[in-house]
């Protein structure tokens, strides 16, 4: 560490300081400025306070610190001095017994008065300088109160020698009290003058007076010099202490800064996952020990990858920052914590005890993001601004004893919010089979389903309306539990998609379809439902090609049904995968057309072989409005040049209506119910007619 000024230079500054006037009250004002500059020095590179603060400001800081020390030491210092002063009464009795009563009385009077005055000043909060004046006056009057009656003694020679103890008072002013240098010099000078006056009037020889006069001056000079050096050293110690304090504060601040950095997301300035995990642990401990309930809320910015693809990553970062700032302002009102949990996902923790409070906060989060009105033109779901899906969970009496459980519950609620259309809120409901622990049981069951033969396929026929023949079949997946109980597809398919089990199940379904019906030419075409998750998985088209090669089935015997829905995003990987599948000869069908927002965009981007119109439109055609809607959808698809398949044909009247509308294919209970593969294998052997299998849903 550099020291631009030497100790001697600092000593000179100190010498000047101890001879200057101590303006206490203005010092406080300057001290605030100096303290501020010290704080600035902590944050800057130089560490030496002498480089950061001027000499005057350093002296003011030193005086302020010295005042506190003098104030603290005034009471014990004076009490000890008074006790020693009174104990010297013994020497009075031995050396000047004729006036001892007077000197002892004077000692007690001066000592008691000084203590009473000092205690009164301390109670009233008197300035430190007045405390110094009281202690200095006690020294002077203590000396006078003892010396005057002692000089009245009969034995003048003894009194003359006894006067040498007056140098103790001189030393007390310079060494035993921590007076400012100026106060010490004044006090010692007064005592020196008193000594010379008394020495002059004593009936002693000239040699005695010269020797003792020289001794008094020597004591005065020696003690003053030592006092000056002590004060200089105190100032240097102060500088070193200040320097060390600045270094310590700087190190502490840097440590805090590093800690903040390690706990802060660099993009949004919110707490990062590490910090949130620590807070989550604190919230959880309070819940377990004190019963303070809280909510965990996960927020996912909808279609954020599309936003990045459209506007660029810089705009994507700006979007996340805007969302983070808006949510941070909102969460402050609820005295909660918010952090970035990764990518475009945020997490909120807030102490709440009731479900309606959690719902209100979650809804406020959703609306806050929507109200930002950040343009997002590539969503193609009817909304042109950035929105967020929100999943919330909260502590309940039935909450599991594991910390991770509440986050897992919030994640499941978020999944349902995204699956339910996005830009919405879902609260974890333990009674909902899609979010309850039952789905966890299903997830575990799906892991062993193939190995334990718990999963199977049934096939529902698809009829050509013009010829009346069954031209294809749709493969439908079935799952049973270990006890044989059947699980509805509406329950296990979403769980399979959420957990990723759909990937293995999908490959199994395609392989089974090829082996059961297509390899032996039992049916002409089989359709299989394919999840968007499968289409986004790298290597899906390759795995299908491998299955076709192993089973000896050509691609044109397979049809993949893609369900229209919000989860079916305009993802480049999906479009690329569909293109690869079509190169294999596989037919691509659009399933459940009309139930989502993305259908028209898909019709424009992909050349579907067949479009399946959802059964709800056929069942609603009993009213004029429903009939008009069905006709409009049929006309729309027909104008695009796609073949049309209508689901849900259950009566002869509906079948006649399909013939009237010129529909290509129909499917429903009127045509045939789902049946095992054996039914179609027998039919194919006798009738020699081709069939087509549909999906694994």
**Angstrom distance (rounded) from CA 111 to CA 121:** 16
Radius of gyration, alpha carbons of the chain: 48
Contact predicate 651/670, CB 8 Å: yes
Nearest to 405 by CA among 434, 440, 447: 440
Positive/negative CA dihedral, 140, 143, 146, 152: negative
- State how far Cα 402 lies from the chain centre: 21
Q: Is residue 483 helix, strand or coil?
A: coil
Contact predicate 514/551, CB 8 Å: yes
How many CB atoms sit inside 10 A of residue 446's CB?
23
| The token pair that represents 513 in the structure block | 């379809």
**Angstrom distance (rounded) from CA 649 to CA 670:** 6
Q: Is 45 a catalytic residue?
A: no
Contact predicate 480/487, CB 8 Å: yes
∠ Cα 557 560 566 (to 5°): 170
How many CB atoms sit inside 10 A of residue 550's CB?
12
Element (DSSP H or E) covering residue 591: strand 587-593
- State how far Cα 509 lies from the chain centre: 45
Q: Is residue 697 helix, strand or coil?
A: coil
Q: Is residue 340 helix, strand or coil?
A: strand
Contact predicate 535/483, CB 8 Å: no
Q: Considering 52, 271, 344, 345, which one is annotated as catalytic?
A: 344
How many CB atoms sit inside 10 A of residue 276's CB?
24
Q: Which residue has the tokens 């000593």?
A: 11
How many CB atoms sit inside 10 A of residue 357's CB?
16
Give catalytic residues, as residue numbers: 344
């Amino acid at each position: 560490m550099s020291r631009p000024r030497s100790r001697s230079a600092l000593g000179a500054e100190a010498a000047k300081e101890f001879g200057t006037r101590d303006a206490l009250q203005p010092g406080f004002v300057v001290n605030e400025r100096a303290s501020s500059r010290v704080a600035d020095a902590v944050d800057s590179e130089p560490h030496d306070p002498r480089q950061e603060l001027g000499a005057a400001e350093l002296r003011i800081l030193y005086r302020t610190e010295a005042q506190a020390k003098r104030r603290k030491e005034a009471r014990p210092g004076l009490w000890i001095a008074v006790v020693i002063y009174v104990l010297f009464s013994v020497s009075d009795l031995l050396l000047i017994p004729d006036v001892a009563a007077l000197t002892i009385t004077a000692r007690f009077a001066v000592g008691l008065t000084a203590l009473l005055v000092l205690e009164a000043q301390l109670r009233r909060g008197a300035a430190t300088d007045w405390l110094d004046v009281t202690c200095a006056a006690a020294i002077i009057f203590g000396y006078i109160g003892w010396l005057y009656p002692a000089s009245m003694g009969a034995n003048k020679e003894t009194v003359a020698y006894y006067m040498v103890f007056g140098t103790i008072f001189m030393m007390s002013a310079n060494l035993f009290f921590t007076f400012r240098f100026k106060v010490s010099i004044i006090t010692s000078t007064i005592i020196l003058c008193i000594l010379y006056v008394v020495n002059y009037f004593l009936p002693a020889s000239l040699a005695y007076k010269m020797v003792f006069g020289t001794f008094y001056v020597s004591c005065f000079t020696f003690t003053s010099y030592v006092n000056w050096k002590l004060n200089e050293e105190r100032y240097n110690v102060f500088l070193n202490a200040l320097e060390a304090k600045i270094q310590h504060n700087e190190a502490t601040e840097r440590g805090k800064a590093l800690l903040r950095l390690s706990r802060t997301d660099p993009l949004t300035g919110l707490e990062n996952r590490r910090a949130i995990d620590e807070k989550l642990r604190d919230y959880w401990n309070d819940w377990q020990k004190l019963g303070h309930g809280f909510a965990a809320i996960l927020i996912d910015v909808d279609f954020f990858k599309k936003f990045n693809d459209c506007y660029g990553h810089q705009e994507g970062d700006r979007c996340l920052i805007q969302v983070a700032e808006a949510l941070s302002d909102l969460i402050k009102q609820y005295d909660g914590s918010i952090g970035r949990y990764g990518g475009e996902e945020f997490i909120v923790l807030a102490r709440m005890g009731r479900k309606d409070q959690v719902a209100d906060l979650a809804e406020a989060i959703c609306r806050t993001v929507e109200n930002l009105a950040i343009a997002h033109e590539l969503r193609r779901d009817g909304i042109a601004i950035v929105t967020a899906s929100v999943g919330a969970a909260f502590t309940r009496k039935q909450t599991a004893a594991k910390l991770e459980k509440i986050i897992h519950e919030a994640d499941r609620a978020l999944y349902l919010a995204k699956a339910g259309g996005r830009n919405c809120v879902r609260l974890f409901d333990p009674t909902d089979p899609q979010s309850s622990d039952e789905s966890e049981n299903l997830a575990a069951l799906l892991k062993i389903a193939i190995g334990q033969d718990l999963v199977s396929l049934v096939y529902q026929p698809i009829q050509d309306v013009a010829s009346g023949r069954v031209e294809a079949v749709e493969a439908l997946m079935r799952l049973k539990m270990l006890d044989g109980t059947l699980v509805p597809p509406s329950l296990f398919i979403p769980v399979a998609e959420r957990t990723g089990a759909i990937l293995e199940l999908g490959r199994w379904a395609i392989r089974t379809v090829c082996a059961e019906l297509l390899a032996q030419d039992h049916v002409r075409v089989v359709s299989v439902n394919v999840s968007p998750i499968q289409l986004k998985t790298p290597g899906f088209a390759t795995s299908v090609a491998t299955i076709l090669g192993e089973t000896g089935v050509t691609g044109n015997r397979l049809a993949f049904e893609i369900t229209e829905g919000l989860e079916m995003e305009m993802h480049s990987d999906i479009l690329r995968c569909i293109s690869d599948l079509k190169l294999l000869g596989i037919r691509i069908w659009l399933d459940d057309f009309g139930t989502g927002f993305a259908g028209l965009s898909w019709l424009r981007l992909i050349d579907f072989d067949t479009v399946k119109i959802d059964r709800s439109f056929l069942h609603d055609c009993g009213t004029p409005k429903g009939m008009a809607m069905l006709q409009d959808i049929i006309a729309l698809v027909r104008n695009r040049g796609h073949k049309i398949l209508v689901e849900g044909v259950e009566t002869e009247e509906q079948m006649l209506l399909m013939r009237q509308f010129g529909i290509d294919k129909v499917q429903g209970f009127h045509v045939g119910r789902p049946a095992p593969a054996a039914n179609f294998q027998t039919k194919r052997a006798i009738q020699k007619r081709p069939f087509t299998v549909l999906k694994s849903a």
